[in-house]
Structure 1
């Protein structure tokens, strides 16, 4: 996969892993479109990027997904990479009957799984028009093993993982469309602060690993501690 000259949409691109990926790909000579819900944060992120614009919107809402996909089709017909990075996560104590466990799970499944399926379907016709295209889903080390702190988040990422595998199989014979999955471990971002993110790897490490994977057409992209588990569960393969 070429690593420059692409037009790339990154959801959740105003901070954390999304912004780190945006910086890496912007510096490599790509046109970047970042998405997020907060206009102030988007504008702040743009100051750190070259050749980038922002589209505000909440991809967990179907109306926003439809609107953003329409904007991409009209204003960015050369779009050839989408990075589904926006996510939701909650510490969810299943032993606490007053915890609203199902409500938290619904928000996670909607953002981390359902919205990805819908937004991918909305942008797929445009991607399929390109000479070379990619869909990059940011999943998690949590797809391999849940825990008592993030049981429903882990389940939502496991669902995303399963969907990504199915999507890759669906387009296995299409040499123009590649499906990547990135498995970050704990990353030091505001998103993960509640679960000890300060002990995690820098988001730039995720961006570096993704960039190398793009260069090498490596569609499975374990990062950091995820590599140990991934090697046992899902050997790195080209497709």
Structure 2
């Protein structure tokens, strides 16, 4: 996949993995649009970047999504790449008082359903380009869930399944390539609650993403994810144990 002179949209691009990917793409000569709910955070990010614009909105809000799509049609009609990075996670253990239904509902909406809605609404733009891509950011827990983030893991597993079928379907009729990025634990504000300080820096995720993207590696296993994937193929039980050690991080 050519990774220069592209126009890329990154959801959740104001910080963490999304922001680091934005920086890396800009260094490669691309134009980037970052989105997120926090206007101040987005503007702070844009102030330090070139060839970057921001659009504040909630990907879980249908009206905001429609406004984003209209904005892209009007101002960035050459959109080539969509990176679905925005996410939500709750750290807890399943129990009588866990309130798992409410937590799962929020995670499924952000991590799965919102991706489907935005992707569907942007397919017409992507289809116009000679080469385009969709990148869905999932997680190491796709291969083995972590009991400390049970419904987050389930939401990412759903996104993994959707990504596989989207890739299969679009390959038949379009020039849109579908990638999946699998970070392990990453040291970001997002992952602080689940021990993110023990994770790899988001810049390492961005670096491996670019390498995989350039080489048409449709499933990009970052860092420890590669090891867990190999373990999962040989023994799903051992992979599960590896992600559910006493520390409970994943």
TM norm. shorter chain > 0.5: yes
SS in structure 1 of the partner of residue 144 of structure 2: coil
Q: How many residues align?
A: 233
2:62 is matched with 62
The within-5 A match list for 1:143-222 is 143-174=142-173, 176-222=175-221
Measure, in 2, the Cα distance between the counterparts of 1:90 and 1:228: 25
Question: How many angstroms does 1:233 deviate by?
Answer: 5.2
Q: Is the 8 A contact 2:83 2:135 kept in 1?
A: yes
* Structure 1 residues 209 and 175: CA distance shift in structure 2, 3 A: farther
Q: Is the 8 A contact 1:92 1:104 kept in 2?
A: no
Question: How many angstroms does 1:98 deviate by?
Answer: 2.7
1:237 is matched with none
CA-to-aligned-CA distance 1:15-73 (integer Å, 9 cap, x gap) = 00000000000111100000011111001111221100000000011221121112111
Q: Which runs of 5+ in 2 are unaligned?
A: 234-250
Q: Is the 8 A contact 1:23 1:48 kept in 2?
A: no
CA-to-aligned-CA distance 1:139-168 (integer Å, 9 cap, x gap) = 000111112210100000000000000001
1:28 is matched with 28
Measure, in 1, the Cα distance between the counterparts of 2:232 and 2:145: 15
1:73 is matched with 73
Measure, in 2, the Cα distance between the counterparts of 1:55 and 1:80: 17
Q: Which runs of 5+ in 1 are unaligned?
A: 235-239
Measure, in 1, the Cα distance between the counterparts of 2:75 and 2:146: 43
Q: Is the 8 A contact 1:83 1:136 kept in 2?
A: yes
2:245 is matched with none
1:128 is matched with 127
Task: After superposing the two structures, state which structure 1 stretch, 3-12 or 61-70, moved more.
Answer: 61-70
Q: Is the 8 A contact 2:57 2:64 kept in 1?
A: yes
Measure, in 1, the Cα distance between the counterparts of 2:198 and 2:40: 27
Q: Is the 8 A contact 2:144 2:232 kept in 1?
A: no
Q: Is the 8 A contact 1:92 1:152 kept in 2?
A: no
Question: How many angstroms does 1:230 deviate by?
Answer: 2.5
Q: Is the 8 A contact 1:62 1:115 kept in 2?
A: no
SS in structure 1 of the partner of residue 181 of structure 2: strand
The within-5 A match list for 1:6-45 is 6-45=6-45
2:3 is matched with 3
Q: Is the 8 A contact 2:104 2:151 kept in 1?
A: yes
Q: Is the 8 A contact 1:26 1:32 kept in 2?
A: yes
Measure, in 2, the Cα distance between the counterparts of 1:55 and 1:115: 16
